[in-house]
Structure 1
């Protein structure tokens, strides 16, 4: 790893530490997107021990400064949601590019990370697929339980099935090894049957 890598990680962490939304982790309050980036980094390290520098940056920056583009700024419904997600991907890619440039990266490295952050080429590009797998694993490990408190069983099954469809076989294998509460494991098994 380069000195640039250490610099860009510090810049990403500093940006995400400004998130005013807090989440509890191990009894401590931490900025939500900083915690998410830490979870993404840890999951990538466990999932792919040979991940490239570009992939590591993309994982850490996946939700960079997400609070600056709230879902509530877009219309309700599927069309509004899709527009928000598309604009969010562009925002994350551009913000990451700015921080990479500040850290000293060249244009080719920046372009590769922007491509990954926007999750282009899933199912065709091995690194994009790896990033998608890690995103899904982080969701299943840390955020599915919260979704379960807000949605009925039919919606949860749909979410699990859509998540599963995005993942590779390696991702499926890793997902089945995660620790779930008994009720959640039962729901996942129901969704996959």
Structure 2
């Protein structure tokens, strides 16, 4: 199973990706987690990413595409994977299509989670307090949600047109949301 999990920040993509990864026995690959790990450990990649994330900006495509391609080529991803937080714009869709063609591993489905703006803001504020994430300031959150609406949300139409999109309400009990996703995926 090769899945994308998409939706605005705070909708529960990471939570559902982890649950689905366990359910299907495949890795959940989060570009955000990869960048946060590198930031925490002050690696060259992390310091470069920090220049963007601290301002609420997204890490440039070239850097993101490279880490995704490298990660999808790893041994544990050969049987499938769940990508969380990628692609986030039309250029990255093209890059992902090229990567998957090169690897000979077509995409199966795209799970799109959604929730009202107020719910997202509450969840992100709670996450910031619990995890102390420097990238979850109110200003950064607002900027990322606006960027998602402008650049990433339109990608759902691409996957809908390809017959790969599965839309799921991201509000409710975590296990019920997971069950709904698994049921729709079959």
Q: Using structure 1 for the length normalisation, give the TM-score.
A: 0.36
Larger gyration radius, structure 1 or structure 2: 1
Specify which structure has the higher proportion of strand. 2
User: RCO greater where, 1 or 2, for CA within 8 Å and sep 6 or more?
Assistant: 2
Specify which structure has the higher proportion of helix. 1
